[in-house]
Amino acid sequence: MLTDETMKLLFTTAINAAIRAGAKIMEVYESGDFNIKAKSDLTPLTLADTLAHDEINKTLGITRIPVISEEGRSIAYDERISWDLLWMVDPLDGTDEFINRTSDFTVNIALIENGYPTVGIVYAPAYQRIYFAIKERGAFRKSNIKPELNADFSYDAIIENSVKMPPLPDSGNNKLIVVTSRLHISPETSEYVNNLRKEHVNIMVMRRGSSLKMCMLAVGKADIYPRYDTTWEWDTAASQIIAEEAGFSVCSVEDGKRLCYNKENMQNPWFICKK
């Protein structure tokens, strides 16, 4: 188990890595020159993905903890099976949202210990907002965090004036709010939402991109996030611990178990995030 001092150091390093990567992303975003290519799975890759990946690797490199990144090399399971501690990174979550200029894109960094996230950081550079959590210390958000390439926040500076999540519930609100992907809605997701409509008279469906969906639950703006579609470990690790520390569960549809990480097959099962 990591000491309190080590945990704070790793958390602070990851925070600064996310903000620095956000600066690289926003440089590309504001230039309009995305240099879009297709990866082997036909999903898009932009210059922002690559630059953010490089910046995160450089900053996290000082920790000497291995990094699994969506944009990094594929690492054989035989090599990583012995890793009790690792970083799980999505340098630009929501590349389609980035290309479409919706602002719903994030930098995701999680620290995985023995298969589960214990630190999570989700930075939304276009909104200048950061969400973060440390296991058993709660989930928080902080606004007005500008993307800066030389970001060098201390632990105390990040914690200061941050807002603990979730906020107190609105006793007058009896509406069930479901959040789904803006761009990826499977027939199974639609069926799940339709079944909810049969059980709840007052229901609203909101659509958001990237890890902001789970963050919406953590911040108290949504109640359920069903994901009956493909996601990967780097898509969910950071936001999972944030949602969990705010009082939600993130569990497989198939067996009800908590999502785990560094599996041989790094594709997530379908899952639901809810109370």
CB-based contact 60:18 (threshold 8 Å): no
- What is the fold of 176-274? D-Maltodextrin-Binding Protein; domain 2 (3.40.190)
The Cα-based distances of 258 to 69, 177, 209, 246, 274 in angstroms read 21, 22, 22, 15, 12
Q: Domain 4-165 is classified in which CATH homologous superfamily?
A: Fructose-1,6-Bisphosphatase, subunit A, domain 1 (3.30.540.10)
**pLDDT tens digit string along 18-49?**
999 999 999 999 999 999 998 888 789 999 99
Cis peptide before 147 (omega within 30 of 0): no
Burial 59-69 (b: 16+ CB within 10 A, else e): bbeebeebbbb
Sequence ranges of the chain with CATH classification 3.40.190.80:
176-274
**pLDDT tens digit string along 182-207?**
887 899 999 999 999 999 889 999 99
**pLDDT tens digit string along 41-84?**
878 999 999 999 999 999 999 999 999 999 998 899 999 999 99
Give the C-alpha separation, 120 to 189, whole Å: 26
Sequence ranges of the chain with CATH classification 3.30.540.10:
4-165
**pLDDT tens digit string along 230-249?**
999 999 999 999 999 999 99
